[in-house]
Amino acid sequence: MEFKRKYPLFSLCGLNCGLCPRYQTDGISKCPGCGGPDFHLKHPTCAVITCNKKHENVEYCFQCSSYPCQRYCEPSKVDSFISYRNVISDFNKANKIGIHEYQMELNEKVNILEFLIKNYNDGRKKSFYCIVVNLLNLADLKRIMEQIDEKIKNQDIDTKEKIKLIIDLFESKAKNKNIGLKLRK
């Protein structure tokens, strides 16, 4: 059954699909995001979509009159390709500031992620950047991007050294915020 949504970068269940390595890839493993083109071919059985169809057919689970249901009583303790840690707080934020404002913030995060992947990926950093951009808040990401632009981008060092400096910036910020930068299996 085909499932289409206007904005596939923020899923029905609260994942930031635009920040997932499977969304940020090329080839047959590329995910189109929740309800994106041919989503039903990549994810033919999704329990959240099934639940949504049985209930109120809302755009986001937090809009359902049954929210928070059992699925959202506490944050998930495991991740898949993307971190599930911020689902509840992202839903709360989207509900508080409005979905349009949340989407604008997510678009900024996606742009930051795509810039990092395009310019500072040695072929092994995409997942790290996806985790970092998903878990750090936009203000912290913007500050780090300013530091990259002011202090790293034009340094006369090779890309490998620039990537190391950038990783250090992200790890330092995450440590200060008590955020672990690994997927939980």
pLDDT at res. 51: 93
Q: What is the pLDDT of residues 67-110, one digit of tens each?
A: 999 999 988 899 999 999 999 999 999 999 999 999 999 999 99
pLDDT at res. 44: 84
**Residue in 97, 72, 56, 53 with CA at minimum distance from that of residue 14:** 72
What are the structural domain ranges in the chain?
Answer: 17-176
DSSP assignment of the chain, as one string? -----S-TTB-TTS-BGGGSTTTT--STT----TT-TTHHHH-S--HHHHHHHHTT--SSGGGSTT-S-GGGSS--S--SSS--TTHHHHHHHHHHH-HHHHHHHHHHHHHHHHHHHHHS--SS-HHHHHHHHHHS-HHHHHHHHHHIIIIITTSSS-HHHHHHHHHHHHHHHHHHTT---S---
pTM, full prediction: 0.95
pLDDT at res. 20: 97
pLDDT at res. 78: 92
Below-50 pLDDT ranges, the chain = none
